[in-house]
Amino acid sequence: MSDFKEEDVVISGNKTEELFANDSYGGLFDINITDKVVKKVLKQVNLEQEHIDKAREVIDMLEFTKEDGKDVIYVNVGDNVQVKIVR
Write out pLDDT tens, residues 8-56. Answer: 555 554 444 445 545 455 554 556 777 788 888 888 889 888 888 899 8
Q: Report how far Cα 24 is from the mean position of its chain's Cα atoms.
A: 26
- The pLDDT assigned to 17 comes to 47
Instruction: Report yes or no on whether pTM surpasses 0.85.
Output: no
- The pLDDT assigned to 66 comes to 95
* Main-chain phi, psi angles of 19, to 5 degrees: -60, -45
- The pLDDT assigned to 15 comes to 47
* Residue 55 and residue 48 in contact, taking contact as beta carbons nearer than 8 Å: no
